[in-house]
Amino acid sequence: MTDKQNIGAQTHKGHENGKKHNMKQGSPDIDRLIGLLARLPGLGPRSARRATLELIRKRDALMHPLANAMKRTAEQIKVCSVCANIDAQSPCHICMMPGRDSKTICAIQDVGDLWAMERVGAFKGVYHVLGGTLSAIDGVRPEDLNIAALIERVETGDVSEVILAMNATVDGQTTAHYITDRLEGLVVNITRLAHGVPVGGELDYLDDGTITAALRSRRPF
């Protein structure tokens, strides 16, 4: 190999090593923070890098308060023993709130849907968080969800209506049908959200007007 070829080979190798080095952001702690943020829904590696830079730039105003809030929340968060909502207390503040209609239970897939319903402010009953939907593909069975506790609430409590607020997806509707079958024979009115909720839609992404209209237009399931 000539001197020129040798220099070219070393330069190419240097570029390759540079590329590998540039894949890291520098500090292992920064890389770890970026990696953790990238796991969050809606954030990829690029968005995680931008978020990390913003946090570093605003350490006193943003990063330190965020770290303290996350630590405090992680230590204090509880799952409600009644409805499976997440709160700093159990039973949660919604279950304990005076004036809520405990005879009307809205069964929803996850806590994000509960927050969406509460954001609208149109529902004055109580909730039951199932923790997901039945799915043959993903192997989610009835015993993997909080369905048995819902049936027990209806059997042992003074419940007049169960609203099935499942997402308008195949798995959501399968779950609604399964719960309807389990509630058969019990003295309770079973309703579902009206078709104002679009097929394939998820509550957390709907506007307030759509959720309100769907709730008010619910009909027997």
The DSSP output letter for 103 is E
Q: What is the pLDDT of residue 10?
A: 47
pLDDT tens string 17-74: 444 444 455 689 999 999 999 999 999 999 999 999 999 999 999 999 999 999 999 9
Q: Please give the average pLDDT of every successive group of 10 residues along the chain, which has 221 residues.
A: 48 46 67 94 93 95 95 93 95 95 96 93 94 94 95 93 91 94 93 76 81 79 75
* pLDDT on residue 203: 83
According to the model, what pLDDT value does residue 195 have?
Answer: 66
Long-range contacts formed by 201-205: CB under 8 A, 24+ apart? 201/167, 201/168, 202/113, 202/167, 202/169, 203/108, 203/109, 203/112, 203/113, 203/116, 203/117, 203/165, 203/167, 204/112, 204/113, 204/115, 204/116
- What pLDDT is attached to residue 214? 81
pTM summary value: 0.73
The pLDDT assigned to 216 comes to 78
Q: Which of 144, 149, 216, 154 is nearest to 190 (CA)?
A: 154
**If we measure between CA atoms, which residue out of 60, 66, 100 comes closest to residue 83?**
100
Cis peptide upstream of residue 91 (ω within 30 degrees of 0): yes
For residue 175, count CB atoms less than 10 angstroms from its CB and return exposed for 0-12, middle for 13-18, buried for 19 or more.
Answer: buried
Please report, as a single letter, which amino acid is at residue 105: I
C-beta of residue 31 within 8 angstroms of C-beta of residue 49: no
Amino acid 35: pLDDT: 94
In whole angstroms, what is the distance from residue 204 CA to residue 111 CA?
10
Extract the tokens encoding 202. Answer: 């998820």
Whole-number pLDDT of residue 19: 43
| Domains along the sequence of the chain with CATH | 3-76 (1.10.8.420), 93-220 (3.40.1360.10)
